Amino acid sequence: MIIVTGATGNVGSVLMAKLAEKNIPARAMTRDASKAKGLFPAGTEVVEADFADPASLTKAMAGADTLVLISPAHPDMVAHQKAALDAAKAAGIKDVIKLSGLGASLDAPIRLPKGHAEIEDYAGSIGLSITPIRPNLFMQVLLGDAGSIAGEGKIYAPAADGKISFTDVRDIADVFTKVIEDTALRGKSYDITGPDALTYAEAAEKIGKAAGFPVQHVDVPEEAAREAMLGMGMDPWVTEAFVELFQIYRAGYGSAVLSDTVASVKGAPARSFDGFAADFRGSFAKAS
């Protein structure tokens, strides 16, 4: 039995659907089971637990043999995931497949990759087998800009001309699925990128081509981006985490060496940004 935390999120929800397609038993963990049940394929087991409640975590993991560890960027991300790892060990789980991030390292200069590395390191320190899956920025992050794309033909981001090897969430879920299916793939780390590195301007142009109208990237100053995120009610810690990521992207580190992980693990090329834009053109379309 596989238990998936963060099962309603970007990667978790796609993964749950893929596991259901393959008839792989999987338990979805969520904080509110009543709200989540309609989000999953019929027959999916849904269990309620909270990262801040160790007893609920241990109960949720009973009978599982593999933990898929996913949680969003959060001030308590490290503490929450360590609690999940403790609960997994208490429940007798030995294998952990973790959604990490490209560049995860204890020496990372910014909080998200450093936090992921701390979690990976902790899993090993308590005797769990850890398989980190480390993607670059999701293509699907740009769905969050659908309003300004449809309304103004613009994407606002403090990205300058930094290139990013955007990664399709569906490819990430495919790699998770293969690692779940084939235990020989476990115990290694997997860096995932898309097939190309693009600037935000190039990504905007591709979205416009798919949607049928011009779309452009508007580079915004870092402080303006910070104020906008805080103005939308984003947590200050998460805001700074995203500000740091864009600092890295502007410096050119988002175009890290392109990885062949998707092709080598699932046997098919990584999805292109053009394909993503075409598949989601309806999300970017102007209201009629």
Q: Convert the pLDDT of each residue in 166-204 to its tens digit.
A: 999 999 999 999 999 999 999 999 999 999 999 999 999
Q: How large a percentage of the chain has pLDDT more than 70?
A: 100
Looking at residue 286, its pLDDT comes to 80
Task: Find the CATH number of the domain harbouring 156.
Answer: 3.90.25.10
pLDDT band at 280 (very low <50, low <70, confident <90, very high): very high
Q: Is residue 173 part of a domain?
A: no
pLDDT at residue 37, as a whole number: 72
Number of structural domains in the chain: 2
Instruction: Based on the fold, state whether residues 129 and 149 are members of the same structural domain.
Output: no
Residue 148 has pLDDT above 70, yes or no: yes
**In terms of domains, do 91 and 17 share one?**
yes
* Res 43: pLDDT: 81
Note whether 244 and 110 are within 8 A (CB): yes
117 and 11 share a domain? yes
Q: Which of 51, 44, 43, 54 is nearest to 69 (CA)?
A: 51
Question: Which structural domain range is residue 233 located in?
Answer: 142-163+195-256+268-284
Phi, psi of 23 (to 5 degrees): 60, 35
Q: What is the mean pLDDT of residues 87-113?
A: 97
Q: Does a structural domain hold residue 220?
A: yes
Shared domain check, 125 and 210: no
Cβ atoms of residues 157 and 164 within 8 Å: no
Q: At which of 93, 118, 135 does a domain end?
A: 135
Residues 92 and 208 in one domain: no
pLDDT above 80 (res 222): yes
Kindly state whether residue 225 falls inside one of the protein's structural domains. Answer: yes
DSSP structure class, residue 213: S
Distance between CA 75 and CA 192 in Å, rounded? Answer: 25
Q: Angle, nearest 10°, between helix axes 169-181 and 10-21?
A: 50
Q: In whole angstroms, what separates CA 63 from the centre of its chain?
A: 26
